[in-house]
Amino acid sequence: MATKFSICSVSNAYLLRRRRSGSTRTPATVSCSAAVATRQPRPSLARVWREIQGANDWRDLVAPLHPLLRAEIVRYGELVNTCYEAFDPDPTSGDYLDCKHDKTALSSDTGYEITKFIYAGPGRSRWMGYVAVSSDTETRRLGRRDVVVAFRGTVTASEWLANLMSSLRPARLDPVRPRPEVKVEEGFLSVYTSPAGPSRLSCREQLLRELARLVEIHRTEEMSVTLAGHSMGSSLAILAGYDLAEIGLNRGITSTVYSFAGPRVGNAGFKARCEELGVKVLRVVNVNDPVTKLPGVFLNENLRAWCNKHALPWSFSCYSHVGVELALDFFMMRDPACVHDLGVIISLLRSPEIAKKREDKREDLLEKAVKLLSANNLDKRGWLFK
- Residues designated catalytic: 231, 289, 340
171 vs 186: CA distance, rounded Å: 9
Backbone φ and ψ for 259, nearest 5 degrees, come out as -105, 125
**Number of residues that this document lists for the chain:** 386
Nearest to 58 by CA among 251, 244, 50, 8: 50
CB 305 within 8 A of CB 320: no
Apex 37 CA angle, 36 and 42, nearest 5: 65
327 vs 321: CA distance, rounded Å: 13
- Looking only at the bridges linking them, the beta strands covering 145-151 and 223-230 are parallel
Beta bridge partners of 150: 130, 228
184 vs 199: CA distance, rounded Å: 26
CA distances, 312 to each of 146, 180, 319 (Å): 42, 19, 14
Q: What interhelical angle do 365-375 and 12-21 show, nearest 10?
A: 30
CB 165 within 8 A of CB 186: yes
